[in-house]
């Protein structure tokens, strides 16, 4: 092309001189920065996977499943340990709200997250030294009252923050509900012992047989420690207010399990046992009664249908497999017998409201049914025992009076776990208590450092929805099921019912994870870009970058991103990386660039000039 006789500005002479600048692999053909074609810019933004959101302690579930996929088990274990002090315990006992929330559940079957967590927890148990180290000592002392899930979690997080933590436990063995409320055939004692050992390795002192109000007073706590976490849990069983309930051999659910767990039980279970209640503790009691020698176990619930029972469906299924009978829509009105329990009197009943905890309407006009039993176990919930708590910190309902951060007045006392969450609408489950313990530990740290506290509920980010992901890339694949012991033989032993995953099974199950809303370095955007204007220094999660000088905004990458971590944002929302040109040639910003600069300077100009 001849340029003779044409007046060409200096900055346009290069391509016409017959010297075609060679493109480079890093910079591309920079004579054509085609970024000014773009109306919508793709942006990488990781969103919250529904499992992470649903988890009571917001474990980074997608994160550790992704690490398991790559065979990085130790990293995965370390990632769980950020939020969860005892994955080997929750891997066995958790009611897995993550699996209910799993997007894969809407596609084929939810990921067996709990089983993978247990696999990693057991891996962590086998390590000689734990991956978690105590924080740099800051010289402050904190007492944690109670060593159940919330206390364990708070003590663990505080030790990681550098506090000198002392746990006060009233029982002879630490573990709280994890030991006393969960039977051995769900959680073997040695697993829990190992997790308690880990706490001691973090430098936490555990004082057993030390009950607040008896061995330690409120003033002692105030005097001897800089701060205190109260995680005493709900220890006192609720009564059913039936006649004759004061008989000596009427058993209550949690004390029944606790005594067996602590090895101090003197109860001799007869052939026919009735369990009153329809929750998780009632189910555990019924199954434990079988293992203690009962031949016929019947569960009596006010709920009119198994689906209404406030329990984990899997556990209910396993219980029914073991041969426990259900009687629905009945309430026990009196416990009959001469000195000891001989039979129960049942009346039809239903809840007066929609919630299981609402008052019960008993139809006393109906003819009572008699039900012959040798033992009765009452498991209809618990309440807190707060006699030691100063009156100023009790509210009108008899529970702890605290602010939304869990803090008692302006003291350095915090309540955590079931005593704080009871009545708040949060489920009273192990994982929720762990999450509460964690958040209270962080708030306690903030309070001692004089920073603003954060609410105990988490901030909601964008939760990834299945519709925003590209399902073309995910074949249907069945869930890997955990092996169970035979119901005929298992109901006579204390052997663990649910078996763990092998390494192959754990990988196979983790492979099913969609990584909802999070980059997992699948390289698909990098592969399908027509320019190609997606660069990555190395193939790793979240290292992908859009070269905004060239991206034309075709959005193929957004459409083809399997996990949906790419999203389109209108170009007008940006003030960086915007390519503005008069023509395809201009290397200078041109008219649009000058306008943009004027807009930037607008605020500095006096009002009369505008």
- Cβ-based nearer residue to another protein, 386 or 469: 469
Residue 27 C-beta: closest distance to another protein, Å: 8
Residue 585 C-beta: closest distance to another protein, Å: 8
Annotate 83-142 with three-state secondary structure: CCCCHHHHHHHCCCHHHHHCHHHHCCCCCCHHHHHHHHHHHHHHCCCCCCCCCCCCCCEE
Q: CB–CB of 152/178 below 8 Å?
A: yes
- At a CB cut-off of 8 Å and minimum separation 6, what does 64 contact? 76, 77, 79, 80, 116, 117, 120
- Cβ-based nearer residue to another protein, 302 or 546: 546
Query: Which residues on adjacent β-strands are paired with residue 330?
Result: 348
SS3 222: helix
Residue 377's closest CA among 500, 235, 279?
Answer: 279
Residue 464 C-beta: closest distance to another protein, Å: 16
Q: What is the spatial distance between Cα 180 and Cα 458, in angstroms, rounded to a whole number?
A: 29
- Cβ-based nearer residue to another protein, 295 or 584: 584
Residue 530 C-beta: closest distance to another protein, Å: 4
Residue 326 C-beta: closest distance to another protein, Å: 37
Q: Is the N-terminal amide bond of 532 cis, ω within 30° of 0? A: yes
Residue 561 C-beta: closest distance to another protein, Å: 10
Q: Half-sphere exposure of 349 toward its Cβ, with a 13 Å CA cutoff? A: 24
- Cβ-based nearer residue to another protein, 263 or 530: 530
Residue 517 C-beta: closest distance to another protein, Å: 15
- Cβ-based nearer residue to another protein, 5 or 478: 478
Phi first, then psi: what are they for 333, rounded to 5°?
-100, -30
- Cβ-based nearer residue to another protein, 11 or 473: 473
- Cβ-based nearer residue to another protein, 138 or 511: 511
CA angle 312, 156, 445 (to 5 degrees): 115
| Other beta carbons less than 10 A from residue 119's beta carbon | 27
Long-range contacts of 235-240 (CB under 8 A, 24+ apart): 235/382, 235/384, 235/385, 236/382, 236/383, 236/384, 236/385, 237/378, 237/379, 237/380, 237/381, 237/382, 238/378, 238/380, 238/381, 238/382, 238/383, 239/378, 240/276, 240/331, 240/332, 240/378, 240/380
Residue 20 C-beta: closest distance to another protein, Å: 5
* Dihedral of alpha carbons 399, 401, 405, 409, sign: negative
- Cβ-based nearer residue to another protein, 315 or 560: 560
Q: What is the spatial distance between Cα 157 and Cα 440, in angstroms, rounded to a whole number?
A: 9
Class of residue 44 by CB neighbours under 10 A (exposed 0-12, middle 13-18, buried 19+)? middle
Residue 142's closest CA among 189, 196, 203?
Answer: 203
Phi first, then psi: what are they for 150, rounded to 5°?
-70, -45
Residue 562 C-beta: closest distance to another protein, Å: 6
Residue 294 C-beta: closest distance to another protein, Å: 43
Q: What is the spatial distance between Cα 67 and Cα 557, in angstroms, rounded to a whole number?
A: 24
Residue 437 C-beta: closest distance to another protein, Å: 34
- Cβ-based nearer residue to another protein, 9 or 475: 475
Residue 452 C-beta: closest distance to another protein, Å: 42
- Cβ-based nearer residue to another protein, 39 or 602: 39
Binding site for another protein (CB under 8 A): 1, 15-16, 18, 20-25, 27-34, 37-38, 69, 472-477, 507-508, 511-512, 520-524, 526-533, 539, 547, 549-550, 552-556, 558-560, 562, 584-585
- Cβ-based nearer residue to another protein, 349 or 507: 507
- Cβ-based nearer residue to another protein, 310 or 542: 542
Residue 297 C-beta: closest distance to another protein, Å: 40
- Cβ-based nearer residue to another protein, 23 or 455: 23
- Cβ-based nearer residue to another protein, 45 or 207: 45
- Cβ-based nearer residue to another protein, 21 or 353: 21
Query: Which residues on adjacent β-strands are paired with residue 535?
Result: 545
Residue 470 C-beta: closest distance to another protein, Å: 9
Q: What is the spatial distance between Cα 463 and Cα 43, in angstroms, rounded to a whole number?
A: 17
SS3 253: helix
Q: What is the CA radius of gyration of the chain?
A: 31
Q: DSSP per residue over 570-607, as a string?
A: EGGG-SSS----SSSS--S-HHHHHHHHHHHHGGGS-G
Please state, in angstroms and as integers, the Cα–Cα distance from residue 170 to each residue in 103, 145, 216, 231, following that order.
42, 9, 10, 12
Residue 568 C-beta: closest distance to another protein, Å: 9
Q: CB–CB of 144/168 below 8 Å?
A: yes
Q: What is the spatial distance between Cα 45 and Cα 227, in angstroms, rounded to a whole number?
A: 39
């Amino acid at each position: 092309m001849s340029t003779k006789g044409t007046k060409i500005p200096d900055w346009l002479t290069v391509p016409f001189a017959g010297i075609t600048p060679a493109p480079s692999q890093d910079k591309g053909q920079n004579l054509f920065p085609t970024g000014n074609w773009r109306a919508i810019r793709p942006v990488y933004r990781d969103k919250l996977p529904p499992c992470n959101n649903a988890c009571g302690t917001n474990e980074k579930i997608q994160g550790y499943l992704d690490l398991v996929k790559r065979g990085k088990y130790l990293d995965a274990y370390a990632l769980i340990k950020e939020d969860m002090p005892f994955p080997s315990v929750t891997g066995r006992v958790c009611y897995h709200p993550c699996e209910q929330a799993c997007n894969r559940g809407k596609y084929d079957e939810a990921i067996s997250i709990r089983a993978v967590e247990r696999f990693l927890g057991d891996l962590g148990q086998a390590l000689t030294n734990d991956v978690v180290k105590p924080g740099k000592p800051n010289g402050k002392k904190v007492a944690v009252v109670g060593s159940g899930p919330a206390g364990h979690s708070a003590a663990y997080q505080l030790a990681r923050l550098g506090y000198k933590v002392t746990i006060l436990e009233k029982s002879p063995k630490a573990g709280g509900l994890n030991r006393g409320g969960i039977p051995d055939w769900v959680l073997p004692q040695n697993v829990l012992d190992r997790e308690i050992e880990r706490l001691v390795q973090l430098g936490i002192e555990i004082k057993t047989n030390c009950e607040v109000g008896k061995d330690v007073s409120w003033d002692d706590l105030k005097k001897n420690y800089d701060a205190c976490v109260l995680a005493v849990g709900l220890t006192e069983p609720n009564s059913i207010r039936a006649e004759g309930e004061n008989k000596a051999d009427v058993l209550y659910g949690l004390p029944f399990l606790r005594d067996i767990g602590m090895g101090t039980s003197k109860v001799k279970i007869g052939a026919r046992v009735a369990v009153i209640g329809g929750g998780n503790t009632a189910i555990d009691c019924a199954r434990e009664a079988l293992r203690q020698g009962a031949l016929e176990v019947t569960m009596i619930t006010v709920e009119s249908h198994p689906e209404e029972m406030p329990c984990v469906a899997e556990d209910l299924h396993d219980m029914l497999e073991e041969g426990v009978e259900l009687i629905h829509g009945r309430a026990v009105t009196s416990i009959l017998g001469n000195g000891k329990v001989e039979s129960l009197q049942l009346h039809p009943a239903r809840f007066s409201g929609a919630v299981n905890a609402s008052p019960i309407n008993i139809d006393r006009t109906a003819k009572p049914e008699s039900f012959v039993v040798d033992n009765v176990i009452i498991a209809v919930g618990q309440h807190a025992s707060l006699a030691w708590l100063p009156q100023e910190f009790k509210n009108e309902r008899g529970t702890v009076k605290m602010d939304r951060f869990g803090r008692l007045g302006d003291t350095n006392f915090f309540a955590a776990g079931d005593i704080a969450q009871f009545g708040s609408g949060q489920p009273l489950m192990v994982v929720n208590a762990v999450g509460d313990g964690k958040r209270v530990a962080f708030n306690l740290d903030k309070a001692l450092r004089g920073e603003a506290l954060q609410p105990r509920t988490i901030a909601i980010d964008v939760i990834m929805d299945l519709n925003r992901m590209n399902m073309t890339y995910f074949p249907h694949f069945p869930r890997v099921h955990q092996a169970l012991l035979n119901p005929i033989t298992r109901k006579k032993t204390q052997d663990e019912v649910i078996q763990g995953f092998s390494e192959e099974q754990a990988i196979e199950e983790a492979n099913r994870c969609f990584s909802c809303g999070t980059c997992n370095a699948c390289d698909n955007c990098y592969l399908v870009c027509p320019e190609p204007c997606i660069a990555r220094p190395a193939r790793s999660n979240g290292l992908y970058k859009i070269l905004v000088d060239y991206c034309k905004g075709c959005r193929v990458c957004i459409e083809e991103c399997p996990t949906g971590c790419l999203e389109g944002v209108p170009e007008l929302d940006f003030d960086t990386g915007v390519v503005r040109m008069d023509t395809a040639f201009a290397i200078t910003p041109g008219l649009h660039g000058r306008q943009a600069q004027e807009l930037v300077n607008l605020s500095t100009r006096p009002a009369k000039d505008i």
